[in-house]
């Protein structure tokens, strides 16, 4: 949601027990026990993340003002372009649907013969591209046959394409039938995107 790290929203219709107990979430305390406050306050033990809550609220306002339909259309455009480019690189496997209507603005992929952490380091050093690498909090998916871990590229609203030579591209040169050369192909890949956060009036 573009908010500060360590913030989030819990929405539930069922009554659940608080995970943590501490000051701020109790209505009364005695030698025999304590009484938990009703509503959201019962889940806010200890000193709240005040600055994070303010930042998360502003992020929510930003997304409402930006129009979520516009956000989705922008992510679809970025994801479609990235998917098309990655699928052209021999030795790169892309996971998930190729239809942007069936996915979010996150693209997961692997490069045959290379560990995800090596790919992430290579893209960082070669092209200043930041991607996630590892299990992505989804370890059961790695129990199936295939590589252990993946790379993930997120495409937030703040990423804008530039025209001409600075346009985003995932082009590999010197395609080879040998998948072991995928490393060379990815090294020659560029993903140039200029981050220009929108200014809201």
Structure tokens at 177: 């039938």
From the candidates 137, 144, 195, 200, which is the catalytic residue?
137
Measured between alpha carbons, how far is residue 3 from residues 40, 106, 135, 179 in Å?
20, 17, 23, 40
**Is 137 known to be catalytic?**
yes
Task: Please report, rounded to a whole number, the percentage of residues in the chain having pLDDT higher than 70.
Answer: 74
pLDDT digits (tens, 9 = 90+) for 92-140: 999 888 888 888 888 899 999 999 999 999 988 888 888 889 887 776 6
Q: What is the pLDDT of residues 130-171, one digit of tens each?
A: 888 988 777 666 565 566 789 988 887 776 654 322 223 433
* Cα distances (Å, whole numbers) of residue 40 to 43, 112, 148: 6, 47, 39
CA 95/CA 150 separation, integer angstroms: 9
Q: How much is the pLDDT for 12?
A: 81
Average pLDDT estimate for 23-44 = 89
| Of 36 and 128, more confident | 36
Structural domains in the chain plus CATH codes: 1-66 (no CATH), 68-195 (3.90.1150.10)
């Amino acid at each position: 949601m573009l908010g500060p790290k360590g913030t989030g929203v819990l929405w539930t219709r069922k009554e659940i027990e608080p995970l943590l107990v501490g000051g701020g979430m109790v209505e009364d305390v005695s030698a025999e026990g304590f009484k938990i406050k009703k509503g959201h306050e019962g889940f806010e033990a200890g000193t709240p993340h005040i600055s994070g809550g303010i930042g998360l609220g502003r992020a929510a306002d930003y997304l409402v003002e930006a129009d979520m339909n516009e956000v989705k259309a922008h992510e679809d455009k970025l994801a479609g372009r990235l998917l098309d480019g990655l699928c052209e690189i021999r030795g790169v496997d892309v996971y998930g649907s190729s239809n942007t209507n069936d996915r979010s603005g996150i693209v997961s992929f692997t490069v045959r013969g290379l560990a995800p952490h090596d790919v992430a380091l290579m893209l960082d050093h070669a092209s200043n591209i930041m991607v996630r690498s590892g299990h992505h909090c989804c370890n059961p998916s790695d129990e199936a046959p295939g590589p252990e871990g993946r790379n993930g590229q997120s495409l937030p609203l703040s990423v804008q394409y530039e025209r001409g030579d600075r346009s985003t591209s995932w082009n590999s040169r010197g395609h080879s039938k040998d998948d072991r050369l995928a490393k060379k192909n990815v090294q020659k890949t560029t993903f140039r995107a200029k981050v220009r956060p929108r200014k809201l009036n």
